[in-house]
Amino acid sequence: MYVGQAIRRREDERFLRGRGRFVEDITLDQPIAHAAFVRSPHAHAAVTHVDTAQAAAMPGVLAVLTGADWTAAGHGEAEGVWPVKDMSGADSRTAYRPLICVDGVVRCVGEIVAMVVAEDRHQALDAAEAIEVAYEEKPANTITAGALDPDIPLVHPAFGTNEVMVTEHGLKEETEAALANAHHVTEVVVPTNRVTAASMEPRAYLGHYDRVNDRYTVWTTNQAPHIVRRYFTKSLHIPEHKLRVIAPDVGGGFGMKLYHYPEEGLVLWGAIVCDRPVRWVGTRSECLLGDTHARDHHTVGRMGFDENGKILGVKFETLAAFGAYESQWQASITNAYHFTMLSLAYDIPAIHTQVRAVYTNATPVDAYRGAGRPEAVYQVERMIENGAQEMGIDPLELRARNLIPPEKFPYQTALGITYDSGDPPVLMGKIKALADYDALRAEQARLRAEGQWMGIGISAFFDMAGAGPVKMMNDLGAKVGCYDVASVRVHPDGRITVFAGSHSHGQGHETTWSQIAADRLGCDIDHIDLVEGDTDRVPMGIGTWGSRSLSTAGMAVYTAADRVVAKAKRMAAHMMECAPEDLDLADGEFTVKGTDRKLSFAAVANASYHSGDRPSDLEIGLEETSFFDPADCTYPSAIHLCVVLVDPETCAVTLRNYWAVDDVGTVINPMVLHGQVHGGLVQGIGQALMEECAYDAESGQYLSGTFMDYAIPHAEDVPSFGLDAHFTRALGNPLGAKGAGESGTIGAPACICNGVIDALWHLGVRQITQPMTPKKIWRAIEDAKRTQH
Amino acid sequence: MKPARFRYLRAASVNDALQALAENPDAQILAGGQSLIAMMNLRLVKPACLIDINRISNIGYIDEDGDGVAIGALARHNDVKHSPLIRERCPLLTEAYESIAHHTVRNRGTLGGNLCHADPSSETPAVMVATGATLMLQSLRGQREVGAEDFFLGTYETARRQDEMLTEIRLPGRRTDGWAFAEISNRHGDFAIAVIATTLRIEDGRCEAARVVASGVGEHAARLEPAEEALIGGPIDDARLDAAAAAAAGAVDPHSDSHADAAYRRDAIAALTRRTVRRAAARCD
Ligand SMILES: Cc1cc2nc3c(=O)[nH]c(=O)nc-3n(C[C@H](O)[C@H](O)[C@H](O)COP(=O)(O)OP(=O)(O)OC[C@H]3O[C@@H](n4cnc5c(N)ncnc54)[C@H](O)[C@@H]3O)c2cc1C
């Protein structure tokens, strides 16, 4: 059995030796030209004039293109894949992100106004600098909390409001009643900070048009190449069968690389216009500005408790930033991934949530690792922490009293979602032991007496992973079917190629998909190759996002492999003159049960392609494809616990310990699981302590355009993690696997913030907006001092 | 290539570099490139010409200089950080290096380039001022010495003239001084939000001399004289610590930016003053 083994990642040798093949590494017969972009320096402005004459005459320049050219060519814009209606039933006020400014107004810093294509990158950049754009600045707003206030500038005046849509979910009356009758009500205002994925590889695209065969090719840093074809049907009006999309090695995606970014469409346009392949590789600054941002909620919440700390109801009102335009998947976050998960790991009888999506003059917001669930966990867990502190109940004990007990599974939340399996009390018991919780509380008391500020943070939650089923996701708004696809091709020599519609950009599918296939096919893992990320080779795919690949594409691999085995057994049975049911397949050989008669898998494969002696109703060949539509989402769960120390003089936070106990169902490869949890935790720690896409409130200027200004954690900023696991089987797929990509980012921000609040509660601090930099903690303490006096 | 077009000259000797500087008034010296190249890539600076000094031999030294140390223009951050001579004779600088940049940046970046760059939140200028270092500037016109206190004039602004090259940094001997460095940044290794470098001399339990130097809270590293005055003339006791911390906070006029606001920076200066003075006093021989 390969499944369950910590097999070393088969892809790592290539990456560690610098032999990965990324978009920037692609070479072609024709010399590749380069694109450079002129971007708006203003958060909101009318573009009154664009003068390209000087740039067009510069050395090496092949084309200078503007929005006017785009419109003249009849091109369009990419549609969203997850349109959602307002609760009134009306369509939401959607303005999709344009590929290039076409209506004479730029609505956020970084919006593309013109493109230069030149022989080399240097020439393209020089020419881009020579383009003169005249702007007339307009008032801008980048602040989510105030987006609907009177007198706030409108991002899209045609709508008459900055509101994209309002949605409500849950039990309104029951929640009001629960709060009215509660023994204690906690109220907290919790803004979730705006962050971005900051993937190691910046976004990059290469477009090519083959005029002879009338075929287009795009190499792209994308997580879902087949969906890219769909975007192009609307942006450049290219039929899906004419476009080949290749996502080669990609260095990190985190949801951020799911979209039809302006540069992706524009390089192919440039290639068509110039009859030359055109490439763009983003700089870090372009990416920190232009990659989709994430989170950016402003939430007011109220939670009611009975006298024992049992949660009776919780109510949320959230403003959720969309940025200047609606990015293609953004509506899925507020409307499929946020409200659904607000019950976390708790048995809460009444929940009601209202979300108003708003436009601001800022970079569009979309999915980033966790997408909606980190916000949900943060919002709920902050209420629970403050409630426990206010009621004088130990925060872990109060949580334990509210966990969903195992006998309630499958558990339907107050929001109508049903968790198939899980056992939160076991997770709580494990983390309590792992962290030696009681000793930590004793240490905290001792340190506090010495004037040291130590805090213990906790968060407990469920994730919704593994989208679909198709129908359920359609019902939540998806226009793309949330299944996935795999083909298992056995070659005549018995070696195997697996084609999967998922895409690995760090997840290690070459290892884990091969582990699954090798077990099903009873073969050596080294006899399997995996192909992903090429629409001409893989039949179809919905891609890798939302911790879905294992329970969709991975299950398609499983299913297709089983079909291959079933067919091969019929051929083998014919050759061995027995019944297919009498055959076992292991170690590359068919054996007749209870005998020593054997036939190699390779011989059967060869016969499947080349022998005329076969059952009359058996088709030639040995290749099967599965379009796998899961029976349910998966619901991984976890509990996190951390220890923070806050320096009383400088207010700097040290994250001293971090523990996590995960239930991700069946584990394919524990090392890959740990890698996923570690990486997610570090990103969650970044959100809690240092990461922020900041805008100047007055000018709308973007302040986080370099890694000097946008801080991501270094290895030395995080402790060594203490991980444990507990397994309950997922019921929606045959392997019982739940998906593990997002647990870290989902749980860490809430956990760490609760730890800091716990450290400072005795000083009167009740809430600190993340990232909790020293200045914010200092300010919170100063404010608390002032209100107490 | 991301920077704007520039000419590239490689100097084989200091004299070569000085010649090139004199002939190209729009040239800049390229040392480790850890500040300059980043700014060129962002096209924040567009020098017409770079004079690369990396191939000049024998200017990366760290040598004894009387009871002090002489550091050549090309001494890399990491060489300085790990130098036993500097640890012995200017441990304040060694301690400051715990907070400066990251391994890869330090491998390439130079102390000389760092000082010429004169970032207002850089740590090294504070150490230079606190220890009373001297900077040697050379041009075809000759050589001059500038005390660290007179070298830093503003944000990215120094007393160095366009045709001058910084050729050597001279650190005086430590004698009996106590020393301590402390900073606050949002992430370890980043540019500082606030820095204090302190040196003290205590004789017979009485503070005889003190330097309390701040960085990150003004246009350049500067002594906080009211804090120094609060320390001199008696024992370093709680009353003096409190007075110095308050005086330090009062002596700075910090700015607000996305990393920290002015009020926090001022409070941080008080905390760092207290912390460094306490530690420096304990280290007085
Ligand atoms: C990620 C990162 C983090 C950093 N963190 C810190 C930090 O925490 N603290 C800190 O202080 N610095 C930090 N730095 C900056 C670093 O210290 C640089 O090395 C230093 O500022 C410049 O030294 P250099 O040799 O690289 O000089 P260059 O970048 O080559 O030059 C800098 C400037 O000095 C001039 N110059 C260089 N040498 C001479 C000379 N001999 N004579 C005259 N002019 C000269 C150049 O013309 C240029 O204007 C960081 C840099 C990076 C990239």
Residue A392, in any domain of the structure = no
If asked whether residues A601 and A660 sit together in one domain, one would say no
Question: Any chain A CB within 8 A of the CB of B154?
Answer: no
Chain A, 388-417: which have a CB under 8 Å from a chain B CB? Answer: none
**ipTM of the shown complex:** 0.91
Residue B187 has its nearest CB partner, among A704, A714, A775, at: A714
Single residue among A628, A651, A682 that ends a domain in this structure: A628
If asked whether residues A667 and A780 sit together in one domain, one would say yes
List of chain B residues whose C-beta atoms are within 8 Å of the C-beta of residue A130 = none
Q: How high does pLDDT run on average in chain A? A: 97
If asked whether residues A764 and A687 sit together in one domain, one would say yes
The pLDDT, as a whole number, for residue A472 is 95
What is the mean pLDDT of the segment spanning A284-294?
97
If asked whether residues A582 and A438 sit together in one domain, one would say no
CA distance A773 to A689: 6
Grade residue A475 by pLDDT with cuts at 50, 70 and 90: very high
Q: CA of B107, closest CA in chain A: separation in Å?
A: 18
Is B170's pLDDT higher than 80? yes
Pocket-testing residue among B49, B71, B117, ligand 1, by greatest number of atoms within 8 A of Cβ: B117
Best mutation site among B104, B258, B278 for testing chain A: the one with the most A CBs within 10 Å? B258
- Protein residue with its CA nearest to atom 6 in ligand 1: B101
Question: Any chain A CB within 8 A of the CB of B255?
Answer: no
Reference A603, options A580, A561, A571; nearest CA is A571
If asked whether residues A775 and A642 sit together in one domain, one would say yes
pLDDT per residue as tens digits for the range A594-650:
999 999 999 999 999 999 999 999 999 999 999 999 999 999 999 999 999 999 988
Spell out the residues 6+ positions from residue B88 whose beta carbon is closer than 8 angstroms to its own. Answer: none
What is the mean pLDDT of the segment spanning A756-765?
98
- Cβ neighbours around A419 below 10 Å, total: 25
Residue B20 DSSP SS3 = helix
Residue B271 has its nearest CB partner, among A126, A649, A706, at: A649
What are the CB-based long-range contacts (under 8 Å, 24+) for A653-656? A653/A689, A653/A756, A653/A772, A653/A774, A653/A777, A655/A685, A655/A689, A655/A717, A655/A718, A655/A719, A655/A752, A656/A719
A283 close to A319: Cβ distance less than 8 angstroms: no
Q: CA of A24, closest CA in chain B: separation in Å?
A: 14
Any atom of ligand 1 within 6 Å of the Cβ of B30: yes
What is the mean pLDDT of the segment spanning A102-121?
97
B7-52: what CATH class?
A: alpha beta
Residue A408, in any domain of the structure = no
Q: CA of A645, closest CA in chain B: separation in Å?
A: 15
If asked whether residues A232 and A112 sit together in one domain, one would say yes
CATH number of the structural domain B62-171: 3.30.465.10
The pLDDT, as a whole number, for residue A673 is 96
Grade residue A787 by pLDDT with cuts at 50, 70 and 90: confident
- Protein residue with its CA nearest to atom 38 in ligand 1: B113
Ligand 1 atom nearest B36 alpha carbon: 29
Residues of CATH 3.30.43.10 domain(s) within chain B?
7-52
Residue A446, in any domain of the structure = yes
What is the mean pLDDT of the segment spanning A470-483?
95
Ligand 1 atom nearest B29 alpha carbon: 47
Question: Any chain B CB within 8 A of the CB of A718?
Answer: no
Any atom of ligand 1 within 6 Å of the Cβ of B199: no
pLDDT per residue as tens digits for the range A717-755:
999 999 999 999 999 999 999 999 999 999 999 999 999
Q: CA of A695, closest CA in chain B: separation in Å?
A: 9
Residue A695, in any domain of the structure = yes
Residue A344, in any domain of the structure = yes
Single residue among A628, A647, A677 that ends a domain in this structure: A628
Question: For residue A309, what are the CA distances in angstroms to A306, A388, A425?
Answer: 5, 7, 17
Spell out the residues 6+ positions from residue B27 whose beta carbon is closer than 8 angstroms to its own. Answer: B9, B20, B21, B47, B48, B49, B50, B51
Domain containing A729 — which CATH number?
3.30.365.10
If asked whether residues A447 and A360 sit together in one domain, one would say no
Ligand 1 centroid – CA B118 distance (Å): 8
Any atom of ligand 1 within 6 Å of the Cβ of B78: no
A754 close to A385: Cβ distance less than 8 angstroms: yes
Q: Give B208: exposed, middle or buried? Use CB within 10 Å, 0-12, 13-18, 19+.
A: middle
Is B43's pLDDT higher than 80? yes
CA distance B156 to A724: 50
pLDDT per residue as tens digits for the range A373-411:
999 999 999 999 999 999 999 999 999 999 999 999 999
If asked whether residues A588 and A505 sit together in one domain, one would say yes
**Alpha helix positions (H), A149-257:** 172-180, 225-235
If asked whether residues A228 and A309 sit together in one domain, one would say yes
Residue B184 has its nearest CB partner, among A126, A650, A696, at: A650
Q: Above pLDDT 70, what percent of chain A?
A: 100
Is A191's pLDDT higher than 90? yes
E strand spans, A199-310:
204-210, 215-220, 243-246, 278-281, 293-305
Pocket-testing residue among B18, B58, B105, ligand 1, by greatest number of atoms within 8 A of Cβ: B105
Is A789's pLDDT higher than 70? no
List of chain A residues whose C-beta atoms are within 8 Å of the C-beta of residue B102 = 714
**Alpha helix positions (H), A460-527:** 470-475, 509-521
Ligand 1 centroid – CA B91 distance (Å): 21
**CATH number of this structure's domain B178-284, picked from the four choices 3.40.250.10, 3.40.30.10, 3.30.390.50, 3.30.950.10:** 3.30.390.50
Contact state of A775 with B259 under an 8 Å Cβ cutoff: yes
Instruction: Give the number of domains in chain A.
Output: 3
Any atom of ligand 1 within 6 Å of the Cβ of B125: no
The pLDDT, as a whole number, for residue B256 is 87
Could you list the residue range(s) of the whole structural domain that residue A438 is in? Answer: 418-466+632-788
Spell out the residues 6+ positions from residue B239 whose beta carbon is closer than 8 angstroms to its own. Answer: none
Q: Name beta bridge partners: A301.
A: A188, A316
Ligand 1 atom nearest A708 alpha carbon: 1
Residue B197 DSSP SS3 = strand
Single residue among A628, A654, A679 that ends a domain in this structure: A628
Q: How high does pLDDT run on average in chain B? A: 95
Chain A, 115-154: which have a CB under 8 Å from a chain B CB? Answer: 120-122, 125-126, 129
Best mutation site among B39, B98, B187, B273 for testing chain A: the one with the most A CBs within 10 Å? B187
Q: CA of A650, closest CA in chain B: separation in Å?
A: 6
Q: Above pLDDT 90, what percent of chain A?
A: 97
Question: For residue A564, what are the CA distances in angstroms to A559, A569, A623, A626?
Answer: 9, 8, 6, 10
Grade residue A496 by pLDDT with cuts at 50, 70 and 90: very high
The pLDDT, as a whole number, for residue B285 is 72
Q: CA of A772, closest CA in chain B: separation in Å?
A: 9
Contact state of B5 with A778 under an 8 Å Cβ cutoff: no
CA distance A92 to A370: 24
Is A527's pLDDT higher than 70? yes
Contact state of B272 with A703 under an 8 Å Cβ cutoff: no
Question: For residue A627, what are the CA distances in angstroms to A81, A497, A530, A541, A553?
Answer: 20, 17, 17, 9, 8
Is B175's pLDDT higher than 80? no
If asked whether residues A727 and A761 sit together in one domain, one would say yes
Any atom of ligand 1 within 6 Å of the Cβ of B250: no
Contact state of B258 with A704 under an 8 Å Cβ cutoff: yes
Question: Any chain A CB within 8 A of the CB of B188?
Answer: yes
pLDDT per residue as tens digits for the range A560-594:
999 999 999 999 999 999 999 999 999 999 999 99
Question: For residue A243, what are the CA distances in angstroms to A213, A224, A232, A257, B71?
Answer: 11, 14, 8, 19, 61
Is B1's pLDDT higher than 70? no
Contact state of B188 with A690 under an 8 Å Cβ cutoff: no
List of chain B residues whose C-beta atoms are within 8 Å of the C-beta of residue A773 = 186, 259-260
If asked whether residues A28 and A90 sit together in one domain, one would say yes
Q: CA of B209, closest CA in chain A: separation in Å?
A: 26
Grade residue B135 by pLDDT with cuts at 50, 70 and 90: very high
Q: What's the count of helices (H) and strands (E) in chain B, helices before strands?
A: 12, 14
Residues of CATH 3.30.390.50 domain(s) within chain B?
178-284
CA distance A765 to A382: 13
If asked whether residues A721 and A600 sit together in one domain, one would say no
Contact state of A649 with B275 under an 8 Å Cβ cutoff: yes
Residues of CATH 3.30.465.10 domain(s) within chain B?
62-171
Residue A41, in any domain of the structure = yes
Amino acid at B75: A
Residue A401, in any domain of the structure = no
Residue A379, in any domain of the structure = no
List of chain A residues whose C-beta atoms are within 8 Å of the C-beta of residue B272 = 650
